[in-house]
Amino acid sequence: MIASLTGRLASKHPGGVIIDVQGVGYDVLIPLSTYYQLPDLSQSVTLVIHTHVRDDAIQLFGFLTQREKDAFLLLLGVSGIGPKLALSVVSTLSVDDLASAVRNDDHRVLASVPGIGKKSAGRLALELKDKIEKLAGPVDHRTVKAAEPSSRLMDDALSALTNLGYRAAEAKEVVKQVLASRNGETHLPNIIREALKELAK
């Protein structure tokens, strides 16, 4: 099993990366929280890895922090939650927000994740209630780089939202509204977070 990868960042997009390790390119699926903090292309990067083995494929899921991986693995233990949905949860909610929502039985926050309905939110809260304290720990204060403004910002936000399962046309309208209301705000995580709130209404 692959537990971690360190290599050159050959490619990146909101849903995944390719890490070149001594000439071998590893295709790794990642949450948005990891994407926000990736270095520039061709720089060295280290990801903690979960190797997911299925009958028809082996998939690698990568995270910048062990806490994100731990949250992902806890989510995989919930009945009805597969790796794609677990990645969607970690992409939409920070580890601390997830832990808080489970502790407080906040189904509304859990149901804001694409693919999680009211029933799934209730099951998540119930099944994780006794396990969520495993995620207790310091908040990751790693500095998040600001995204480039204008069309690049729109493209990145749209790409992230469509990766989460939203329709492109619907997502584009919401991102436009958010950008218009943020008075020049160009911090990608904040833009996406605001858009997710609007789309969940």
In a domain, residue 145? The reply is no
DSSP state letters, 58-73: EEEEEESSHHHHHHHH
**Lowest model confidence (mean pLDDT) among 61-70, 156-165, 174-183:** 174-183
Residue 158: what pLDDT? Answer: 82
**Mean pLDDT across the stretch 180-197?**
75
CATH number of the domain to which 15 belongs: 2.40.50.140
Residue 183: what pLDDT? Answer: 62
Own/partner pairs, 151-159, CB within 8 angstroms, 24+ separation? 153/179, 153/186, 153/188, 153/191, 154/179, 156/14, 156/188, 157/188, 157/191, 157/192, 157/195, 159/13, 159/14, 159/15
Pair (91, 119) in one structural domain: yes
**Mean pLDDT across the stretch 64-76?**
92
Pair (112, 95) in one structural domain: yes
Encoded tokens for 27: 């295709």
Pair (128, 70) in one structural domain: yes
Distance CA 192, CA 200 (A): 12
Q: Domain limits at 175? A: 150-200
In a domain, residue 141? The reply is no
**Mean pLDDT across the stretch 170-176?**
83
Those residues with Cβ within 8 angstroms of residue 185's Cβ, 6 or more apart along the chain or in another chain: 179, 191
**Mean pLDDT across the stretch 164-171?**
81
Other Cβ atoms within 10 Å of 188 Cβ, number: 22
Residue tagged 């693919």 (tokens) = 115
Question: Which of 46, 63, 80 represents a domain boundary (last residue)?
Answer: 63
Question: Which of 109, 135, 161 represents a domain boundary (last residue)?
Answer: 135
In a domain, residue 131? The reply is yes
Buried/exposed 119-147: b ≥16 CB within 10 Å, e otherwise: ebbebbbebbeeebeebeeeebeeeeeeb
The structural domain count of the chain equals 3
Pair (74, 129) in one structural domain: yes
Residue 139: what pLDDT? Answer: 42
Pair (43, 77) in one structural domain: no
Distance CA 90, CA 112 (A): 12
Could you read off the pLDDT of 1-52 as tens digits, one per residue? 788 999 999 999 988 999 999 999 999 999 988 998 899 999 999 999 999 9
Pair (55, 109) in one structural domain: no
Confidence grade of residue 108 (pLDDT, cut at 50, 70, 90)? confident
pLDDT over 70 for what percent of the chain? 89
Could you read off the pLDDT of 109-156 as tens digits, one per residue? 888 888 888 888 888 888 888 887 776 654 443 333 333 344 677 778
Coil, helix or strand for 92? helix
Pair (175, 189) in one structural domain: yes
CATH number of the domain to which 111 belongs: 1.10.150.20
Pair (106, 72) in one structural domain: yes
Pair (93, 124) in one structural domain: yes
Mean of the per-residue pLDDT values for the chain?
A: 83
